[in-house]
């Protein structure tokens, strides 16, 4: 009974990761206005994950004293969360910091649930990619119509290509075409999920259902990827595939079923990048935000400004228009600014403990993609969706080492 509940509960949680249904009770003010980067909320899938953790504990109560539950990784995670609370208490003590720590804690719980559950890795990938099918459909509709209604049930904000602030493709004739948001708060986050879905299917294709399902899923996600208009994600995909080539001598033999898809990607990527373009305004803004980071870090170099507190620390060092306050678009700099040198050492140590369990080296392409995305954006650390995505990739990396079914 417990095993059945855990299996389908885990698959449901992974399927629902792309959906942003949540309860919002407010937002912190930065620069005198409520900030979209400091919203007080709890996601429905977070509640499901915590419920699964409770089921896991109840169903495995007799094993609580075993190595699985009394491991250095779990103690290290608890210790790091305690440090985050300590760092928050030293910082601005904005309530959003506690909300963000809750996101981190939920992502860690998700990681351990996925690793400790008996759900097979390729089943997790099928649930993950199936969960992206509906958001891609929404993304196609958003691109074609240029607008999308809000939905509290799905957690989707209203979008309109004519509204300043919504991400668009700006054509030479001045026409604005809405980029695909799917169910996500930004197209870049949607693109991150899609590239991990594509790479996961390629990596695990040997264990995927026979027939054309894998190719259909890859093709469908490829369409969504194009419509997101994310330049960084194409760079991440190309680097991940190149890394895959050099990390396995058997690449072309193992990827013969996906060879056509990969060739199409390489042929059309330059054209797509030219059409979508590396937005010069975006590059300038990223450089500007990065230039502010040293002063923020210098003020909080040891303990950090506090998890989720970067934008508040930024407001203390530079005077900007309220809508300009946002996290630095580099996860590594952002982590250093929020949890400080001591927190960074502890975070790296925890990652080392987790991967010491036997992280699969053949997952390197997926990690290469995440590292590229982390270098050009902040959502892998600053948002619940990003943290959950990292936890998912980390869990796959640990599970496939045990299952020995990786294709790359």
Position 361 in a domain: no
Q: Report the alpha-carbon distance of residue 227 to residue 369 in Å, rounded.
A: 19
Token pair, residue 373, equals 């995305």
Q: Could you tell me whether strands 22-30 and 33-43 are parallel, antiparallel, or unpaired per DSSP bridges?
A: antiparallel
Contacts for 347 with CB less than 8 Å, ≥ 6 apart: 80, 335, 339
Pair (158, 183) in one structural domain: yes
395 assigned to some structural domain: no
Q: Do residues 216 and 323 both lie within one domain?
A: no
Same domain, yes or no, for 185 and 232?
Answer: yes
Domain end among 278, 295, 322 = 278
**Full residue range of the structural domain in which residue 129 is found:** 119-278
Q: In sequence order, which residues have a C-beta less than 8 Å from that of residue 398 and are 6 or more positions away? A: 115, 354, 355, 357, 358, 359, 360
Looking at the fold, whether 110 and 129 belong to one and the same domain comes out as no
Same domain, 126 and 112: no
The pTM of the full predicted model, rounded to 2 decimals, is 0.89
Specify whether 57 is located in the same domain as 26.
yes
Rounded-to-integer distance, Cα 43 and Cα 57, Å:
22
Domain contains 407: no
pLDDT per residue as tens, the chain (408 positions): 666 777 888 999 999 999 999 999 999 988 888 888 999 999 999 999 999 888 877 766 555 555 455 567 778 888 899 999 998 888 777 899 999 999 999 999 999 899 888 888 888 999 999 999 999 999 999 999 999 999 988 889 899 988 888 888 877 777 888 999 999 999 999 999 999 999 988 877 766 665 577 788 888 999 999 999 888 898 898 888 877 776 654 544 555 445 455 545 544 544 454 444 444 566 667 777 888 888 999 998 889 999 999 999 999 888 888 888 899 988 989 999 999 999 988 888 888 777 776 666 678 889 889 988 998 899 999 999 999 999 999 888 887 655 554 433
Residue 396 lies in a domain: no
Contact 58, 2 (CB under 8 A): yes
Q: Cα(first)–Cα(last) distance of the chain, in Å?
A: 36
Does residue 95 lie within any of the structural domains? Answer: yes
Length of the chain: 408
Spatial distance between the Cα atoms of 331 and 116, rounded to a whole number of angstroms: 28
Half-sphere exposure of 200 (CA within 13 A, CB side): 29
Helix (H, G, I), strand (E, B) or coil at 392: helix
Q: Look at the chain and report how many structural domains it folds into.
A: 2
- Within 10 Å of residue 93's Cβ, how many Cβ atoms? 12
């Amino acid at each position: 009974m417990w095993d059945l509940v855990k299996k389908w509960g885990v698959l449901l949680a992974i399927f629902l990761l792309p959906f942003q249904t949540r309860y919002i009770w407010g937002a912190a003010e930065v620069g005198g206005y409520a900030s979209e980067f400091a919203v007080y909320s709890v996601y429905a899938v977070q509640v499901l994950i915590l419920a699964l953790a409770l089921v896991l504990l109840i169903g495995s109560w007799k094993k609580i004293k075993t190595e699985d539950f009394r491991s250095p990784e779990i103690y290290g995670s608890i210790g790091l969360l305690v440090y985050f609370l300590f760092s928050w208490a030293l910082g601005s003590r904005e309530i959003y910091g506690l909300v963000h720590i809750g996101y981190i804690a939920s992502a860690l719980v998700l990681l351990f649930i996925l690793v400790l559950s008996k759900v097979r890795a390729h089943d997790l990938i099928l649930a993950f990619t199936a969960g992206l099918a509906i958001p891609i459909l929404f993304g196609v509709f958003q691109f074609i119509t240029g607008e999308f209604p809000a939905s509290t049930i799905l957690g989707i904000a209203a979008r309109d290509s004519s509204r300043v602030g919504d991400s668009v493709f700006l054509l030479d004739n001045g026409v604005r075409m809405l980029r695909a948001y799917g169910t996500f708060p930004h197209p870049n986050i949607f693109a991150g999920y899609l590239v991990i879905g594509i790479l996961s299917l390629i990596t695990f294709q040997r264990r995927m259902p026979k027939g054309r399902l894998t190719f259909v899923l890859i093709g469908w996600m490829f369409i969504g990827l194009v419509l997101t208009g994310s330049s960084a994600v194409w760079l991440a995909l190309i680097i991940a595939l190149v890394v895959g080539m050099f990390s396995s001598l058997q690449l072309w033999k193992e990827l013969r079923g996906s060879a056509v898809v990969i060739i199409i990607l390489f042929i059309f990527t330059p054209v797509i990048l030219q059409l979508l373009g590396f937005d010069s305004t975006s590059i300038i803004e990223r450089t500007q935000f990065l230039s502010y980071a040293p002063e923020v870090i210098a003020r909080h170099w040891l303990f950090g400004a506090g998890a989720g507190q970067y934008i508040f620390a930024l407001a203390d060092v530079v005077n900007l228009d309220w809508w300009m306050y946002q996290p630095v678009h580099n996860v590594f700099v952002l982590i250093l600014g929020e949890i400080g040198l001591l927190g960074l050492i502890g975070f790296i140590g925890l990652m080392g403990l987790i991967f010491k369990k036997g992280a699969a080296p053949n997952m390197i392409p997926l990690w290469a993609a995440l590292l590229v995305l982390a270098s050009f954006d902040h959502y892998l650390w600053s948002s619940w969706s990003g943290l959950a995505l990292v936890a998912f990739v980390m869990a796959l990396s640990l599970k496939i080492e045990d299952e020995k079914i990786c294709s790359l």
